[in-house]
Structure 1
Amino acid sequence: MPAIIRILICLALCLPAFAQALPPPCNSGRVFEDRDGDGHWSRGDRPLPGILVSDGLRLVRSNAGGEYSLPWDDGRTTFVIKPAGYAFPTGDDGLPAFWRNQQYHDGPALKFGGVPAASPACRDFALTRAKATRTPLDVLVFADPQAKTAAQVDYYDRDIIAPLVEAAGGRPAAALGLTLGDVANDDLSLYPALKAATARLRTPWLHAAGNHDLDFDASTDEDSLRSFRHAFGPDTFAWEEAQASFILLDDVIYRPGGKPAYIGGLREEQFTWLAAYLDTLPRDRRLVIGAHIPFFDEPGRETFRRADRERLFALLAPFGKVLLLSGHGHVQRHHYHGAADGWNGRAPLHEYNVGAACGGYWGGAADAQGLPDARMADGTPNGYASLRIDDAGDYALRWHAARRGDEALSLHAPKVLRRGHWPGVGLFANVYMGEADTRVEVRIDAGEWQPMPRVDAADPALLAENLLDDLATTLRGYDRLPEAAVSTHLWRFNLPTDLAAGEHVFEVRAFDRWRGEIRASGAYRLVDATE
């Protein structure tokens, strides 16, 4: 027999032995209280029984020794649902270390890397006792940072992060932070820089996935968040604080080759996981559901699959305290779901569609610091929201316009009018957190307060910027502001022209559901004129 044949036969016979020598993948380990803070199970540490561990489909509890075991399922992510009163250590990327990806064999080749194959060794999860914090719980909520260049990462850092860091004075900026998708704008190589900026807040931060966080070269929806999961962990998971359970959902269904390429909805395994997790919770528990695409439909078209919404709402209906948070729209809106949306709970279900951190896609003319105007299409300044939840599960929401202090509304009015002119020129009040029933009033020269009617119209201040962009012969910014769209939180009042010539002060007050009375003021002049 030729020597080469003998060598090939020998190698073939040896291959099973080599394969058996490879360590089998392991999806077991221990959840423990890390009393010495070294990140490893050691003498003096305490096993934590009853802790929920999941792979996004199955849900198990750690046993009396803190041990858990799940089947190895290549491509999934194993994570621990943080129990109230505990904290995870911070990973090298500044984010809480509560997960690990299961990837024993190479996954699909993707432009942004996907999930690389890694060691299949067993994994322990460390927790520490959380420091006693004041109640209520303060949460920062970002939507759509959506940076597409390194310059826009810098905008995010200077416009959103830096003021929060300064205000925190070396302390964590909040007890918890959420980003509701579109962390980047298709260029997922920016994730490390974006994570580094967010980590400066020294706050446990959780991320939902958006339609601009997809691997667009993936051939299936199941593979479309591999690069996101390599950077941020599970796409559907829960996190528990004393005041509430937070559930973040991937609600972007990717449809390669389809038009549109995605739609809002949930996968079958997400319903399986969510039903199992909700069964572990008391029905009076406050639930905060965070996702990217709004659960309501845009006018005239299905943007979230109705059947999925009805299934989700059926699971949530037994709970009396549910708040939905979403992003995606680059506007600020409140929506109250009822029977028409498939919600049959005891009271309407509140969804707060959070404005974007990038506002109008980091567009508009730059200020003296080189930061773009970034207003959204409804006239709301870019920024972020805060959510406060008390021990009873009651909540308060607030919008923070980037670098604008406590500004809660903006006014637009003419500077000068002819005295005696037809009184049909409007003063507009854009109340950023306004709802359909928000009371907004105006008074002129400290007179009687009068109601301002809400109108379905575009913010004239943004319309003016659109016209300036049209008339400019050179670019006013790298990108324009978005075209003004109908705002859901705009009020109008006809300025009187039958007053004395001279300056007249107008004051506007609105009654915010959570902040109470908020005010802004301005002035216009009346002048006499002859033809």
Structure 2
Amino acid sequence: MQRLSMLVAVLLLASCASSRAKQQPQAQGKVATGYVFHDRNKNGLRDAGEPGVEDALVSNGRRVRRCAVDGRYEISIGDDTILFVIKPSGWATPTDSNQLAAFHYLHKPKGSPKARFPGVAPTGPLPASVDFALYPQEEKKRFNVVLFGDTQPYSKTEVDYLAKDVIPELVGVEAAFGITLGDIVGDDLSLFEHVNEVIGCIGIPWYYVYGNHDLNYDATSDELADESFERVYGPTNYAFRYGDAHFVVLDNVVWFPKDGEKRAHYKGGFDDRATDFLESYLAHVPQDELVVVCFHIHLDDVNIDRQALFRVLEKHRHVVTVSAHTHVHRTLFFGKDQGHPGNEEHVHLNMVTTCGSWYKGKRGELGIPITRMRDGAPRGYGVLTVDGNQWSLRFKAARRPADYQMDIHLPARITKPELAQTELVVNVFNGSKKSKVWVRYDEAGDWHPLAHVSRTDPGFVALKSEEARHREYWQRALDKAIALASTEKKSYADLKGPLEKIWREQQTKLPWRPLPDPVESAHIWSSKLPLTLAQGPHLVRVRTLDMYGETWESCAVLRVVK
């Protein structure tokens, strides 16, 4: 009975593997073969009578090959290759208990080199048939995708922040799938599985992008820096189709190991593996269909050759690129002056992060740091809506109503003489150069346009000022301690070192980590207050029309006093 139970357990584990390679005699040569098949009974195995999926695509990470009528493919392979199926429209790949899509087969006969965080265990010889299971699913032309910028927890406590923050509100979300746009964790790669468990609770398939904090820092080459990522998530360059749209995930993090006196470091950039795969896949994509290209580091990074990327994408008329990394939220536009060859500007979405400013800042509700991003926008996520070859983006602040789309910075009370020196400042979180913003004072007033300006967010600056006041408090305490101790006829030099050590220890006991410095925001509008405002209360209403045709409103109360 015990042996039978063990056999059942083994079979169940086999049915959950990321790919289904039948253990037949070892394949010969450097060519992998197998089938993409309709898994009618959803057991992950190609059983008798289960037909192949005609015209499905399979890749080795550089080249893409189309399956024959019976679902069979052949593709070249090396000793460090990840084979994967590119999910066709109307089909689903299996997912594991954490909603990770199971679409790949790791072929590393010798496994990964030894590292601080484990990579891939030796996979052994290549099976004679590497098969990929698919099953039909309904896919609509219009659907939503949840986009997470950097989740990036540095500890299990910060994984708990993620679990308490954005996850509960997304359970039951009307979305086809989600994508985390890199920096899944903050250097501690043992947290991959913890993050997966938390995000898996949302209950929709989830895809992951490779980020600069997801790599093995002890890797001796760029090729080996993603071994732990590959163990958990599979390839760093891959694609899948949903509805009428194509989603391509690319690795644009290049790792440079320590070289003599030169420290190890990373840079943004698309290597030939990424561009080769993109070019090979796009050869199978109709030019009038939407292509969404996801990677981690933003396109205006100084090290990224975006012109090379644009050349590969040039023939496709409907393309949007998406990144994270900066811990701000921006919509960037690239025209001919920025290297884009098309007649229309290329739109690049540099997404809001779920961890805000790395979970820094004083704690708010549920013990979660307020952790605004450096441009003043709240932490949160995006919802990409796809409709055929068209798309739009909505910003969603964590645990706030869907219509919370702006902050109005305005004093609650002001004197009449102060009107001339006071500004109305509005941070429209999803705003861009194509947004329009207006203000109206009182319900009978007229709407007046606000000016789009580049400046820091007053709310974020106020949070930094609060932190400065705490530092000043501890500095005064230190100075007082030195003054008192000097009465014992000890020199300042004798006292300064020990007392500063005590002070630094006290600093670490503050209830939050300091926020980063503010940066100029790309989505702020402002104007001077009208001098005609009479004494008394005034309802200040702000309206914005975004580039997607959505209108949002918010209001504040301003009192003019003597």
Give TM-score, length-normalised by structure 1.
0.89
1:75-126 deviation digits (Å, cap 9, x = unpaired): 2211100000000111244311101211101331111111221243343211
Aligned to 2:245: 244
Aligned to 2:270: 266
Aligned mate of 2:158, from 152, 158, 179: 152
Matched, 1:313 2:310: yes
Aligned mate of 2:99, from 94, 99, 105: 94
Aligned to 2:49: 44
Measure the CA separation in 2 of the matches of 1:259 and 1:323: 35
Matched, 1:253 2:254: yes
The alignment of Structure 1 onto Structure 2 pairs a total of residues equal to 493
Aligned mate of 1:412, from 405, 409, 412: 409
Matched, 1:290 2:298: no
Measure the CA separation in 2 of the matches of 1:35 and 1:100: 20
Instruction: Give how far 1:29 is off.
Output: 2.1
Instruction: Give how far 1:239 is off.
Output: 0.5
Measure the CA separation in 2 of the matches of 1:54 and 1:282: 18
User: RMSD across aligned C-alpha pairs, in angstroms?
Assistant: 1.8
Matched, 1:395 2:399: no
Matched, 1:141 2:147: yes
Matched, 1:161 2:195: no
User: Closer, same or farther in 2 for the Cα pair 1:47/1:515, shift >3 Å?
Assistant: same
Measure the CA separation in 2 of the matches of 1:212 and 1:437: 33
Contact persistence 1:428–1:493 (CA under 8 A): yes
Aligned to 1:487: 521
* 68-77 vs 98-107, which moves further: 68-77
Contact persistence 1:36–1:44 (CA under 8 A): no
Aligned to 2:383: 386
Aligned to 1:118: 123
Measure the CA separation in 2 of the matches of 1:42 and 1:510: 57
- Give secondary structure in 2 for the equivalent of 1:467: helix
Instruction: Give how far 1:274 is off.
Output: 1.8
Aligned to 2:180: 179
Mapping of 1:288-437 within 5 angstroms? 288-297=292-301, 302-304=302-304, 306=305, 309-391=306-388, 393-406=389-402, 407-437=404-434
Q: Which amino acid aligns with 2:417?
A: G
Instruction: Give how far 1:488 is off.
Output: 0.7
Matched, 1:83 2:88: yes
Aligned to 2:189: 188
- Give secondary structure in 2 for the equivalent of 1:106: coil
Q: Which amino acid aligns with 1:146?
A: Q
Instruction: Give how far 1:260 is off.
Output: 7.8
Contact persistence 1:418–1:497 (CA under 8 A): no
Q: Which has the higher helix share?
A: 2
Measure the CA separation in 1 of the matches of 2:264 and 2:348: 24
Instruction: Give how far 1:192 is off.
Output: 0.4
1:217-255 deviation digits (Å, cap 9, x = unpaired): 001111111101111111001111222110100001111
Aligned mate of 2:452, from 450, 454, 459: 454
Contact persistence 1:408–1:433 (CA under 8 A): yes
Q: Which amino acid aligns with 2:420?
A: P
Contact persistence 1:364–1:476 (CA under 8 A): no
Instruction: Give how far 1:49 is off.
Output: 2.5
- Give secondary structure in 1 for the equivalent of 2:166: helix
- Give secondary structure in 2 for the equivalent of 1:313: helix
Instruction: Give how far 1:72 is off.
Output: 3.5
* Unmatched segments (≥5 aa) in structure 2: 1-24, 474-506
User: Closer, same or farther in 2 for the Cα pair 1:515/1:140, shift >3 Å?
Assistant: farther
Q: Which amino acid aligns with 2:132?
A: F
Aligned to 2:136: 129
1:414-441 deviation digits (Å, cap 9, x = unpaired): 1211123351211210001111232111
Instruction: Give how far 1:396 is off.
Output: 1.0
1:450-492 deviation digits (Å, cap 9, x = unpaired): 1111221100011000000111257664322222211010111
Mapping of 1:468-507 within 5 angstroms? 468-472=466-470, 473=473, 477-507=511-541
- Give secondary structure in 2 for the equivalent of 1:276: helix
Contact persistence 1:505–1:523 (CA under 8 A): yes
Matched, 1:444 2:441: yes
Instruction: Give how far 1:66 is off.
Output: 1.8
Aligned to 1:197: 198
User: Closer, same or farther in 2 for the Cα pair 1:279/1:88, shift >3 Å?
Assistant: same
Instruction: Give how far 1:498 is off.
Output: 4.3
Measure the CA separation in 2 of the matches of 1:259 and 1:450: 54
Aligned to 1:464: 462
- Give secondary structure in 1 for the equivalent of 2:517: coil
Q: What is the identity percentage for the equivalent residue pairs of Structure 1 and Structure 2?
A: 33
- Give secondary structure in 1 for the equivalent of 2:358: coil
Contact persistence 2:110–2:124 (CA under 8 A): no
Q: Which amino acid aligns with 1:461?
A: G
Instruction: Give how far 1:198 is off.
Output: 1.2
Measure the CA separation in 2 of the matches of 1:58 and 1:526: 67
Q: Which amino acid aligns with 2:143?
A: L
Instruction: Give how far 1:372 is off.
Output: 1.2
- Give secondary structure in 2 for the equivalent of 1:389: strand
* 23-32 vs 207-216, which moves further: 23-32
Aligned to 2:111: 106
Measure the CA separation in 1 of the matches of 2:95 and 2:68: 25
Measure the CA separation in 1 of the matches of 2:453 and 2:345: 23
Aligned to 1:8: none
Q: Which amino acid aligns with 1:195?
A: N
Measure the CA separation in 1 of the matches of 2:425 and 2:395: 19
User: Closer, same or farther in 2 for the Cα pair 1:58/1:438, shift >3 Å?
Assistant: closer
Instruction: Give how far 1:134 is off.
Output: 4.2
Instruction: Give how far 1:497 is off.
Output: 4.9
Instruction: Give how far 1:211 is off.
Output: 0.6
Aligned to 2:551: 517
Measure the CA separation in 2 of the matches of 1:135 and 1:437: 26
Q: Which amino acid aligns with 1:137?
A: F
Measure the CA separation in 2 of the matches of 1:76 and 1:230: 12
Contact persistence 1:78–1:101 (CA under 8 A): yes
Contact persistence 2:32–2:76 (CA under 8 A): yes
Q: Which amino acid aligns with 2:228?
A: S
